[in-house]
A and B are shown apart, each in its own frame.
Chain A
Amino acid sequence: MAILNVDRLSKHFGGLLVVNDLSFELNEGEILSIIGPNGAGKTTVLNLLTGINPPDSGDIHFQGQSIVGLQPHQITKLGMARTFQTLRLFLNMSIIENVMSAAYPHTKKGLFDIIFRTSGWRKEEAQIRALAQESLSFFGERLVGYRFDQPAYSLSYANRRRLEIARAMATKPKLLLLDEPAAGMNPKETLEITELIGQLRDKGYTILFIEHDMNVVSGISDRVIALDYGQKIAEGSYQEVVENERVIEAYLGRKQSVWTKA
């Protein structure tokens, strides 16, 4: 069943056409990756999906419902979460607070309960904290224990990336959008990320990620879409896309296949 349906999406910024008539589908439980040279419009696609920028034309259906025009926090509440290419953590908050703050969309207790600290409020707070701890423990030992109360800025780069994913998980999404999750990572960490994405799928998330590192893309994607100048130029399995002439030309400009299956 298609959890995400993108139909003829287009977006201008000023005079520049950044996303051009893009259509694709994403099925539940799938891992789809979007590749393309820099400037191809990949992050913009994510921004359009999450409601940060409104599309000029086209439609987006998430779980059967059109989400164009909704505010980002409403879309997140419906079940779509994302991470950012340039990390956007809440640096001055502690690690567990980062994750707990993202639990907001599914919390209910209002001002009265907050001010008077009713038992309903206490229960919900405990639930939020448990959810945060669960999200963080997904990453092994790195972000747990004494780490909970450390400020986020004390984390190493790789751990920051993990925290961003943990934070996104706290919004209880059905669809996870990851923007270059392996950026700036060494080969060992890249391998971990690739396995991680697989584990996320096993947990029940549908995943769409943008990547440049072909090791990750080939390692875990079910399907790949290639973009260039905002247009979809190829779609299919990794092997199919990678050997597509237009894709090769977009990346390299030569008729020679450099990428082999990892």
Chain B
Amino acid sequence: MSVEKNTQPTNPESESSGDPRTGASPRAGDSPRIGVDEWVAQADERKQARSGFWGTIANRWETIPVFWRIGFVAFILILAPIVTNTTPVLSLLDISNNDFMVRVGATFLAFSILAIGLNVVVGYAGLLDLGYVAFFGLASYGYAYLSSDFIGAGVHVPYFISIPVVVAFTALVGYLLGSLAIRLYGDYLAIVTLGFGLLFFQLAQTLTRVRFFWLERPVDLTRGPNGINNLDAIPLITSRIEESIAYGYIYLFGSTFTPTIKYYFLFLIMLGLVVLVVHHMNQSRLGRGWRAMREDDLAAEVMGIPVRHLKLMAFATGAGIAALAGATFAAWQGNVVPIRYNVLALINLYAMVVLGGLGSLPGVIIGAFIYTLLPEILRNVVYATTLFYVGGLIGLVAWLEPSKRLVMVLGGTFLAGLLLKFLVNLLWPGFDTGVAPTEGFFLNQWAQSWLIIPANFTTAGNLAIGAGIAALLATVSIKNWWRYVFLGLTIYLFGFAWETRLAVEPSVTRILVVGASLVVLMITRPQGLLGKLRVEIL
């Protein structure tokens, strides 16, 4: 049909502006023109356009065709395990176990797959599923039932049957869960799914004495908190093609590679397949339907989109992907433990997705990377301390902005600390031992010489944590200049707490740092690294 001519009176600017019909853009160098359609329309993009160092890199990156971008990333991922296993790299990172990096890498890949699955449910379809880890766990237990010596004398179903069966089963469970939860919106959905996730965890820990009425004695379904061991590994060892065809083994690169590396590549291949499948699903009417549903599910339904059906599809797909990761992960680790599927695991997973950006496929992979690597880095006192102090410093600078205030606060706190130490040593000699349990490196030593560290540093450290939080509260609540005094106090207390207690207990600290970084990130950049800012009308 013919294109209708614009019925508006001729726009005098249309001669010099871009021509909507051909899509030509305004001439470069033209001064800003109010009201010119296309220029105005692109205002949002310009505002979000990236500048500065990272911006330039990001912009250059986008000019490379997609195929080469993926190729580049794939290339790095394939070479990574081989490179990181070499001695120079290992000594640089101060790691003795040469399997370690690959193991971290394989974990990262497995969690990437999980994150992608979660992204489908939460990012694409907008369904807040807080019980997602349960699918991961369910599949792992399913694999444990089928491919180990758990049931009776041992049902050792080969992996190429057990894994697909487990995936299908879990997808079905996802479908059923979805159909139950489908009537619920937003927060209620979150609550019920969280309930299911917790129920699963509880049951996994407690279903050790289940009475079936046709059996005489109670059955142990899950082996409780210790989990099930001795799961069949996926045979990847063989290096001969004939064996691979005859026995269904996967032939991978010969036997010079440790099993860990082979699992790494297995996960890498899985990741590639999952990415491809999910991407295709997203760029089709299915993905459009999901997005429409996420925006406004009533309007979507009225536009002919079968919302209920699509919600179930999202649940089932997410569950299936989680199952794939779960069964393979269980096979790799050789065991199933409930603690892997608790709330903390869920938080970690969500952190990956939120950090990377909801709805962005490369984003969640990056998120998974950071959140698998970060806890490992934080194991090392040196890195952790650096992160703590440098992070704190950055926070201070960001808040106070380079100014006289900043200098005064930092300088004042430093001097006050020295003064305090002087007074204490003068009046109560011997109180300050100057030695804290944290060995660390020079930063730790500097801090320790500056702080007053009594003999019973444990109790003092505990108190410092509480007092530090209170001081921080005071800092943000008080509006006049006293707040800077409290800020200095907060700095002192947190430094003290770090040197005496926090640096010594890496497990707690890791959770703290990971969570704090996540909170800070969500405040400053709520759409995550690669997500897009969404306009929401409530």
Contact = CB atoms under 8 A, between A and B. Distances in A.
Are A and B direct contacts in the complex by CB distance below 8 Å?
Answer: yes
Given A104-B285, A115-B280, A90 B299 contact: yes
- How many of chain B's residues touch chain A, expressed as a range? 35 or more
Contact of B20 (A89, A144, A153): A144
Interface string A201-226: 00000000000000000000000000
A93 B304 contact: no
A72 B289 contact: no
Given A88-B299, A145-B22, A146-B18, A73 B307 contact: yes
Given A140-B5, A146-B23, A90 B292 contact: yes
A97 B287 CA distance: 10
A14 B284 CA distance: 41
Given A117-B280, A141-B21, A105 B288 contact: no
Nearest to A177: B302
B407 to A, nearest CB: 43
A77 B302 CA distance: 9
B284 A125 contact: yes
Nearest to B24: A146
Interface in A165-212: 167-168, 170-171, 192
Contacts, number: 141
A90 B20 contact: no
A72 B21 contact: no
A105 B299 contact: no
Contacts of B285: 100-101, 103-104, 107, 109, 114, 128
A171 B4 contact: no
Contact of B277 (A90, A115, A153): A115
Contact of A104 (B5, B280, B303): B303
A93 B291 contact: yes
Interface stretch (B129-137, B157-165, B231-239, B529-537): B529-537
Contacts of B277: 115
Given A90-B296, A114-B286, A102 B535 contact: no
B7 interface: yes
B32 to A, nearest CB: 17
Contacts of B20: 141, 144-147
A90 B301 contact: no
A52 B284 contact: no
Contact of B305 (A101, A117, A137): A101
Nearest to A102: B303
A76 B535 contact: no
B304 A100 contact: no
B300 interface: yes
B288 A145 contact: no
B158 to A, nearest CB: 25
B479 to A, nearest CB: 37
Contact of B304 (A52, A73, A109, A139): A73
Nearest to A138: B4
B299 A104 contact: no
Contacts of A73: 301-307
A111 B148 CA distance: 33
B298 interface: yes
Interface in A126-179: 128, 134, 137-142, 144-147, 150-151, 153-154, 167-168, 170-171
A231 interface: no
Contacts of A232: none
B151 interface: no
Contacts of B289: 101, 104
Nearest to B304: A105
B149 interface: no
B1 interface: yes
Contacts of A82: 302
Nearest to B306: A73
Given A52-B298, A97-B288, A114-B286, A104 B305 contact: yes
Contact of B295 (A92, A111, A168, A171): A92
Which residue of B38, B284, B306 has the most chain A CB atoms within 10 A of its CB atom? B284
B302 A140 contact: no
Contacts of B291: 90, 92-93, 97, 101
B284 A114 contact: yes
Contacts of A92: 291, 295, 532, 534-535
Nearest to A103: B285
Given A91-B535, A97-B291, A171 B303 contact: yes
B246 interface: no
A88 B298 contact: yes
A65 interface: no
Given A91-B295, A140-B4, A146-B18, A52 B302 contact: yes
B6 interface: yes
Contacts of A72: 301-302
Contacts of A134: 1
A92 B4 CA distance: 27
Contacts of A107: 285
A50 B277 CA distance: 35
B41 interface: yes
A104 B304 contact: yes
Nearest to B44: A154
A121 interface: yes
A84 B537 CA distance: 15
B300 A153 contact: no
Interface of B: 1, 3-7, 18, 20-23, 25, 38, 41-42, 44, 277, 280-281, 284-286, 288-289, 291-292, 295-296, 298-308, 532, 534-535, 537
The 10 A-B residue pairs with the shortest CB-CB distance in the complex, in nearest-first order: A105-B304, A76-B304, A88-B299, A90-B295, A102-B303, A101-B288, A101-B292, A140-B4, A114-B284, A146-B23
Given A73-B305, A92-B535, 4 more contacts: A101-B292, A121-B284, A141-B21, A151-B535
16 contacts: A71-B308, A82-B302, A88-B298, A90-B296, A90-B300, A92-B535, A102-B305, A105-B305, A109-B285, A114-B280, A115-B281, A128-B285, A141-B6, A141-B21, A142-B6, A146-B38
